[in-house]
Homo-oligomer: A and B are copies of this chain.
């Protein structure tokens, strides 16, 4: 687990999109950051207090989180200077970049010298067991999608927020680097060795109170040939009681694969349920989460109504309308 609170490092982000990790932390864990640190030219702004490293430490910050991705995932000299300063001031440094912190000699040297820790959240840090596929107390909800990047993490985070607001016991379980940085812990599932994927998900979603809900972040799609094995491990390792079917209705092909059209929501439901029931015979789909960002309000309403008719399940865009309808759909 990363130590909180954070100082969010936005670097020289060329635009708001480059700082989407920081935006995720700001949106979903607003209490987790004491402020932001921006370099000259930074075009992203989380509307947090601007802080130097010294300000942040004085405000209690324990970890500098790199909330921005450079082109190519690089770590510039200007960044290194700030990261070293942060460690010298007593903070750990965490990042989910393709370029690893631990491959930067200046950072490794500073970490050793200061006794602070470098967290590359793309890499697993523990040895996971082989999965056992055992039923366990507590409820688990898994977001599965017709494609990659169609709103699974957002859906799980929005459901957690709604459930906590209702006084329910709920925990978002991160399975990718953005989710891990947002919440401070999780499993970077796409970097786990094949044999241990299901066991890693089991470790992430341990036995719990019977009225507790894990909201498991989905990855990939059963229909996405590059990553479907990761999705499969989530379905069997997570042993979900409930599935939320996630969909982006305007996509003309699978993400990154111009030669593929997703078979779609109606095809996803039976196959995901059949596979989930191998481990948890009572697993059911409770609703659809539809990412309508590319549609107008009227189009989104029509689309969601059409999906409800086709699937016979409640559907909602949690970004437009909140996740209440999905939480209402729980038995």
Which A residues are within 8 Å of any B CB, using their own CB?
Answer: 130-135, 189-195, 197-199, 222-233, 235-237, 239, 257, 259-260, 263, 267, 271, 274-275, 278-279
Contact = CB atoms under 8 A, between A and B. Distances in A.
Given A131-B227, A223-B278, 20 more contacts: A130-B226, A132-B257, A190-B193, A190-B194, A190-B195, A191-B195, A192-B194, A193-B194, A194-B230, A194-B233, A197-B229, A198-B226, A199-B226, A222-B232, A228-B233, A228-B278, A229-B229, A229-B230, A232-B232, A271-B274
A125 B176 CA distance: 25
A198 B131 contact: no
A193 B192 contact: yes
A193 to B, nearest CB: 6
Nearest to A254: B133
A224 B189 CA distance: 19
Select the residue from A226, A229, A274 with max chain B CB neighbours within 10 A. Answer: A229
Given A133-B260, A193-B192, A193-B193, A198 B228 contact: yes
A179 to B, nearest CB: 16
A225 B131 contact: yes
Contacts of A192: 193-194
A222 B230 CA distance: 13
Nearest to A280: B225
A103 to B, nearest CB: 15
A277 to B, nearest CB: 9
